[in-house]
Amino acid sequence: MVLMISCFLGLIYAMIMLFYCKAWQSIPSFYLSDKANPQTKISVLIPARNESDCISSCIESILAQSYGNFELLVINDHSTDDTAAKILNYRDKRVKLIESEAGFLGKKAALSTGISTAVNKLIVTSDADCEYHEDWLKTIAACYEEMDWRMIAAPVVFHRESSFLERFQALDFSGMILIGAASLKSGWGSFANGANFIYEKSFFHELGGFAGNESFASGDDVFLMEKAMKVSPEQVGFLKSSSATVKTLAARSWTSFLQQRIRWGSKTQASKNVKMLAVAIFVFGFNIYLLALFIASFFWSVVLGAFLIAFGCKMLSDFLLLSTACTYFQRRNLLWLFLAAQPLHIVYIVWAGILANFSTYTWKGRKLG
């Protein structure tokens, strides 16, 4: 019986991963034409809390853009270091320091302050630890004008990894971006990443902004996309473009990595997308099943075969998905980690999934959850 269950669950898992790969492949790549001459005015919003170490690199990367029709609003979210002072050092008139309103804490509050201050029609949000391709904003503006979408999700990848943990995250996150984009394309999810998220200012207000999920510290991206998908799915899209891909940094320690994953996982419980919830619950349950089989195999040898069948299905389908993602993002060098990453992936999915529903977490020096 346990062998049949493993075969059944493994097959379902493999079919889901194959579905994501197929949906990803169906998303057309967007290429910036040499003749492209977009005119859309953009307001780039960067919420920043205690980002002294990286805020200068972020700003300089944005100021080096080939597209100059933008303003850069850096919203200081009550930093206790010299983040604000470093922002004020810039004399470029496009760079503006905005202080988040007193008494209102968190990324959503900072973004709300920035959006109310922004003067341009198209909002582009990102994070203070990001860096950008020189054609990032030009590609976004060209896509916006050509596709006529009112909300656009775009890819984010990790870079500058120097440890096993950071490379593991880079590999894992590449797969997450593929799954998110595929979910958005197929209607199975409401993927967006706040490090590379684009929407019309007027559309933000039409959707009611962040109202309805204020109790969640995270979700400035996913919940807003979920609203858009419910109201106008035809006006939402994913910008699949190498020049529009944002690079960010992985968590440096195991503690910060787990805290980050718990924060991300805490959003899932509030999602109203039934398909996305069903997949998330199945994947979580499948990983618990694998972990339970592995532990049981030390006591009952007959269970070992069931574990190997289920684990084999996961490995084969995960490798297909991750190799597809790494090929697109030109990070096939990460695939050598695959075998070592598989057991770790199971453990962290189970661990973070449980704590996301029953635990608090720390983010930017604040205890949340």
Contact between residue 155 and residue 172 where contact means Cβ atoms under 8 Å apart = no
Closest-CA residue to 356 (of 256, 258, 225): 258
In a domain, 121, yes or no: yes
Given a cut of 60, whether residue 364 has pLDDT beyond it is no
Whole-number mean pLDDT of the chain?
A: 91
- Tokens coding 45: 């919003």
Residue 356 is predicted with a pLDDT of 74
Cα separation values, 94 from 72, 87, 197, 262, 274, Å: 6, 12, 20, 36, 42
CA 34-154-26 angle, to 5 degrees, is 85
User: E strands, 151-289, where?
Assistant: 151-153, 156-158, 197-200, 236-238, 246-248
In a domain, 101, yes or no: yes
DSSP designation for 153 = E
In a domain, 126, yes or no: yes
Q: What's the rounded Cα separation, in Å, for the pair 272 and 302?
A: 40
In a domain, 33, yes or no: yes
The strand pairing partners of 237, in sequence order, are 152
- Radius of gyration of the chain from Cα atoms? 21
Given a cut of 60, whether residue 367 has pLDDT beyond it is no
Domain containing residue 243: CATH number: 3.90.550.10
Closest-CA residue to 219 (of 80, 113, 99, 111): 111
In a domain, 196, yes or no: yes
Task: Provide the residue range defining the domain that includes 240.
Answer: 29-162+190-249
Query: In a 10 Å sphere around its CB, with 0-12 CB exposed, 13-18 middle and 19+ buried, how is residue 165 labelled?
Result: middle
Give pLDDT tens digits for 293-326. 999 998 888 899 999 999 999 999 999 999 999 9
Query: In a 10 Å sphere around its CB, with 0-12 CB exposed, 13-18 middle and 19+ buried, how is residue 307 labelled?
Result: buried
In a domain, 116, yes or no: yes
In a domain, 110, yes or no: yes
In a domain, 156, yes or no: yes
Residue 355 is predicted with a pLDDT of 80
Residue 218 is predicted with a pLDDT of 61
**Which DSSP helix (H) or strand (E) runs through 83?**
helix 83-88
Confidence (pTM): 0.92
Cα of first residue to Cα of last residue in the chain, in angstroms, is 40
Given a cut of 60, whether residue 210 has pLDDT beyond it is yes
Number of domains in the chain: 1
Cα separation values, 147 from 128, 151, 152, 207, Å: 28, 10, 10, 20
Compute CA 352 distance to the chain's CA centroid, rounded to the nearest angstrom: 16
Residue 268 is predicted with a pLDDT of 66
Max mean pLDDT among 208-212, 289-293, 358-362 falls in: 289-293
Percent of the chain at pLDDT exceeding 70: 92
User: E strands, the chain, where?
Assistant: 42-48, 70-76, 95-99, 122-125, 131-132, 151-153, 156-158, 197-200, 236-238, 246-248, 361-363, 366-368
Residue 250 is predicted with a pLDDT of 95
Q: What HEC string does 235-272 produce?
A: HEEECCCCCCCEEECCCCCHHHHHHHHHHHHHCHHHCC
Given a cut of 80, whether residue 368 has pLDDT beyond it is no
Task: State the amino acid at position 185 in one-letter form.
Answer: K
Give pLDDT tens digits for 212-239. 776 665 667 888 999 999 999 999 999 9
